[in-house]
Amino acid sequence: RKKERKRFSEEEEEERERKMYRMIQSRRLVYYITKNKNNNNTVNTIINKKKCYSSSSSTVSRFSTEEDSFHSSSSSSNFDSESIPPPPPPTPPPSSAAKKKSPFLSLLKFGIFSAFIGATATAGYATYTYTTDQVEELSKEFRESGDKITVEDDASSVEKYKALLYSAAMTVPAKCIDIYLDLRRSIEEKVREFSEPSSDKLLPDMLPQEQMMGIKTVVLDLNETLIYSNWTRERGWRTFKRPGLDIFLLRLAQCCEVVIYTDQMDTYVTPIIDRLNQGSGGAIRFCLSRSATKYQDGKHYRDLSKLNRNPSNVIYISGHALENALQPENCAPIKPWKLEEGDTTLIDLLPFLECKYFSLLLL
């Protein structure tokens, strides 16, 4: 009896352990189902594993009735009553016909790309070779050649169809030429605003009395002609006046119209001109900065023809007169000044200018 009791107690213990194990497995199954309810493959895998486990274990099959009753009693672990949707069918592989590209689309893409490259090359060649006016004249001739084709009323339908196709084919290039001309004019206008002087008349009209007296206009450069600016680590930027500058401006203003024409910015020129006018009694009448120059070949040139003065009454004095002026016949080059001591260039230039211009005033 003791042995039987011991055997029954061992069987009860084993049965208790099996129930506990099934309970843990059921709770794990419910947890995985709720966590992966959108993943049908995971649910099916778990169910298949459970079926395999139940079929391989003979001991667990004996207690299938208790397990079913346990699952039916627990509403949270009842996954048999829930309708689990089947997994989606696998997508079929793409057919060989779909993989092949349509030859018509490939030909169309190649045609569009070739037309774009050809139009770009033609526009570049026309821009490099012809001016805007020349391109406009050629476009007029092109349109006139298309208008010359006429079809009589008694012509065949084939001839009329050919004429219609020809006129349609001529319309597309004509439209492209118009677009090119408009775009080129707008670009050239923007470039002209940057490269050309800001006005065709950079100076206001001279007074009638001065015109009658024949007042001359002396145009002076700024850097290395009247002043010199340099930079050092100890003191930074400093500007120095050329020796004899105040006397030169004061005596020159008595017989001439003094104009400063430089390629520097207004923010740099304005304070310097104010200081020079303080020392010379306001001898400088006008000051022209970079916006009044002509930008050509990467350099700013002084265009004396835009000064609104008689060219024969204009003289340009600069240390680089022949290099930065477009009218060399009006230039009077002098030695550039770079802080050399004992420079007398401006003082030596005064007798020449006074003799030439002041004597004319006396006459």
pLDDT tens per residue across span 97-145: 445 567 878 888 888 888 788 878 887 877 778 887 888 887 777 777 6
Instruction: Give me the helix-helix angle, 103-129 and 157-195, nearest 10°.
Output: 50
**SS3 of residue 230 by DSSP:** strand
Confidence class of residue 345 from pLDDT cuts 50, 70 and 90? Answer: very high
Closest alpha carbon to 220 in 70, 331, 120, 119: 331
pLDDT class for 16, splitting at 50, 70, 90?
confident
Model pLDDT for residues 281-304, shown as the tens digit of each residue = 899 999 999 999 999 888 999 999
Predicted confidence at residue 352, as pLDDT, reads 86
Res. 1 pLDDT band, cuts 50 70 90: low
Return the residue matching tokens 């004019």. 185
> Judging by DSSP bridges, how do beta strands 284-288 and 256-261 pair with one another?
parallel
**DSSP character for 100?**
S
User: pLDDT-based confidence at 89, cuts 50/70/90?
Assistant: low
> For the chain, what's the residue count?
363
pLDDT, position 344: 94
More confidently predicted of 17 and 86: 17
Other Cβ atoms less than 10 A from the Cβ of 262: the count is 26
The neighbouring-strand residues paired with 295 are 300
Predicted local confidence at residue 261, as pLDDT: 97
DSSP assignment of 112-168 equals HHHHHHHHHHHHHHHHHHS-HHHHHHHHHHHHHHHHT----TTS-HHHHHHHHHHHH
**Could you report the per-residue pLDDT of 209-218, keeping only the tens digit for each?**
888 888 899 9
Q: Is 243 or 214 the better-scoring residue by pLDDT?
A: 243
> How high is the pLDDT of residue 160?
67
H-type alpha helices, 157-260: 157-195, 208-213, 245-252
Which pLDDT does position 75 carry in this prediction?
A: 43
- Encoded tokens for 172: 């597309």
3-state secondary structure of 22: helix
Residue of 56 and 171 predicted with greater confidence: 171
Strands 331-333 and 314-318: parallel
Cα 269 from Cα 289, distance rounded (Å): 7
Residues in Cβ contact with 288 at an 8 Å cutoff, skipping those fewer than 6 apart? 202, 203, 259, 260, 261, 262
Sequential DSSP letters for 261-330: E-SS-HHHHHHHHHHHHHHHTS-EEEEE-GGGSEEETTEEEB-GGGSSS-GGGEEEEETTHHHHBS-GGG
List, for residues 30-79, the tens digit of each pLDDT value. Answer: 666 666 655 555 545 555 554 554 444 444 344 344 444 444 444 444 44
Give residue 260's identity as a one-letter amino acid code: I
The 3-state DSSP composition of the chain as helix, strand, coil percent (nearest 5) reads 60, 10, 30
Task: Report the candidate in 115, 112, 114, 169 with the shortest Cα–Cα distance to residue 142.
Answer: 169
| 178: its two tokens | 């118009």
- pLDDT for 106 equals 81
Of 231 and 284, which is predicted with more confidence?
A: 284
pLDDT (0 to 100) of residue 180: 83
